[in-house]
Amino acid sequence: MLEQLQNNLGKIIRNLKSEGKITEDNIRDTLRLVRRSLLEADVNYKVVKEFIDKVQEKAVGAVVTKSLTPGQQMVKIFHDELTQLLGAKQDHLQTAAIPPTIIMLVGLHGCGKTTFAAKLALQLKQQNHQPLLVSVDIYRPAAQQQLEVLAKQIGVPIYPSPVNVIKFSKEPKVISWISKAVDYARQQHLDTLILDTAGRLQIDAEMMGELVALKKVLKPQNILFVADGMTGQDAVNVVKTFNEQLEIDGIILTKMDSDARGGAALSIVSVTGKPIFYLSVGEKLENLEAFHPDRIANRILGLGDIVTLVEKVQAAVDAEEAAKLEQKLFKRQFTLDDYLQQVRQIKKMGPLENILTMIPGFVRVKNISIDDRELLRSEVIIQSMTREERRDPAIINGSRRKRIARGSGTNPADVNRLLNQYWQLIKITKQMGRMKLPGNLAHIPLGN
């Protein structure tokens, strides 16, 4: 989402590298370009003005140390101010003294609350928590069924939804039912209750009345506003209204894998005073990232995000299995079954473009096509092979290639490309003698 802003700021910073010192003239020219880039990214104009003023105050007359170029000095200044703009430090969810911790999700219709509820439940489960999903969305058709399906996919319990309930304000049984859901969580020793509330196309008094009633009864430790990252400044305005009524604790930004301009991410903390807790960065339930202001600032400036990349690798890859694969490569016993395992591990890490932008300097790489479908294509091609072919790819001749292509719905050229990637990996391993796995991005199939 922030790709255009990354590219623009990257160019601006690189232009400073040829300067011998930081002067008022080159700072003025630089900040004019930065201001334009931020406004084009749909950042709130008041936020832009405040940001530019702070950068200018720090930059003018700044002493460039011998170990830094003017460009590097400006990067540090921009990084520090961007980090402050995004919230300075990572915030964490509050935990109840007596379980369950109640997390109440609010927001407009279509912002992604239900999917986020499942994503959060999955992440908490992976962190050894015992979450319970609860839906009180009685307005959107099949909303409760959607949450049930997602809960089944991730193996998390869901509390049965109320039946024949129309409005909270006219149905006191719902309040009683919500209390029973909390009691159920305690009885089953579930430490977190995630409540998916109903959304609307627009804010109205009835909607807010229902949410206020729920807050009064449940007294949730965390009220999280789920904002659609594609709505830009509208999302900022909606958060302000919800905060006035509910005193929300934090913000979730969804659809951050889209091609929208991303101004909401840079405006929402400054305008609302509320921290961002999570970013939803893909459609898969695993595509949820904790929000780290300093890491996002690094990405915006094209500095990469190695820490998050390492965390993703650790979460997706079993260390013991990785060690076995490394030994197989070293001993020349690496088969297409092992290659398939690597492809599946890479898929777990999320969209390839998101992964590669975490590598410092990758934002400057041009003319490279990144297609996640290549991973899926590689997977189905290998699955169309016989056990013998997977163990010994050298036996795959022209007729076998045609059969594999027909079975996988691809063409022989795709099969050839996969085999070439496999043999290239084997060749590199022979040349290096030993290759560190996992996390080696050199053999990821990226397309053309």
Cβ burial 330-353 (10 Å sphere, 16+ → b, else e): beeebbbebbbbbbebbbebbbbe
Kindly report the pTM of this predicted structure. Answer: 0.69
Selection from 9-18, 371-380, 430-439 with the highest mean pLDDT: 371-380
151 falls in which pLDDT band (50, 70, 90)? very high
Higher pLDDT, 330 or 280: 280
Q: What is the pLDDT of residue 209?
A: 85
Of the residues 301, 317, 349, the one at which a domain ends: 301
338 shares its domain with 389: yes
In this predicted structure, the answer to whether residue 73 has a pLDDT above a threshold of 90 is no
Residue 94 lies in a domain: no
Give the C-alpha distances (Å, rounded to integers) separating 215 from 23, 210, 248. 54, 9, 10
Q: Residue 37: its pLDDT value, please?
A: 81
How far, rounded to the nearest angstrom, does the alpha carbon of residue 343 sit from its chain's CA centroid?
A: 20
Whether residue 438 sits in one domain with residue 344: yes
Whether 244 and 106 have beta carbons less than 8 Å apart is answered as: no
Q: Which of the four pLDDT bands, split at 50, 70 and 90, describes residue 94? A: very high
| pLDDT at site 167 | 47
- The pLDDT value recorded for residue 366 is 47
Average pLDDT estimate for 117-142: 90
∠ CA 264-252-92, rounded to 5°: 120
Least confident range of 133-147, 255-269, 332-346, 355-369: 355-369
Separation CA 299–CA 83 (nearest Å): 11
pLDDT digits (tens, 9 = 90+) for 34-49: 888 888 877 888 888 9
How do 288-290 and 276-280 pair as beta strands?
A: antiparallel
Report the CATH number at residue 69: 1.20.120.140
Q: Note the pLDDT of residue 166.
A: 45
Cα–Cα distance for residue pair 350/289, rounded to 1 Å: 10
Q: What are the backbone angles phi and psi of residue 112, rounded to the nearest 5°?
A: 100, 25
Tell me, yes or no, whether 113 and 182 share the same domain: yes
pLDDT at 407: 92
Looking up residue 265, the CATH number of its domain turns out to be: 3.40.50.300
Please name the residues in contact with 244: beta carbons below 8 A apart, sequence gap of 6 or more.
Answer: none
Domain boundary among 279, 301, 323: 301
- State yes or no: pLDDT of 85 exceeds 60: yes
- pLDDT of 437: 42
- Residue with token string 């904002």: 227
Domain membership flag for residue 78: yes
Return left, alpha or beta for 87; rule: phi > 0 is left, psi -120 to 50 is alpha, else beta: left
CB pairs under 8 A, 24+ apart, for 167-171?
Answer: 167/206, 167/210, 168/136, 168/209, 168/210, 168/213, 168/214, 169/206, 169/209, 169/210, 169/213
In the prediction, which pLDDT does 330 show?
63
Q: Domain tally for the chain?
A: 3
* Average pLDDT, rounded, for the chain: 78
pLDDT score, position 222: 96
Domain's final residue, options 240, 274, 301: 301
| More confident: 278 or 323 | 278
79 or 24, higher pLDDT: 79
Question: Does the structure show a pLDDT above 70 at 65?
Answer: no
pLDDT digits over 186-244, tens only? 999 999 999 998 887 777 787 888 888 889 989 999 999 998 877 767 777 788 889 88
Domain match, 314 and 409 both: yes
Structural domain range at position 347: 309-443
CATH number, domain of 432, equals: 1.10.260.30
Q: Report the pLDDT averaged over residues 408-418.
A: 91
pLDDT tens across 230-268, in order? 776 777 778 888 988 899 999 998 887 766 556 777 788
Q: Does pLDDT of 1 surpass 60? A: no
Q: What is the pLDDT of residues 306-337, one digit of tens each?
A: 555 555 565 555 666 666 666 666 666 778 88
* 107 touches 201 (CB < 8 A): no
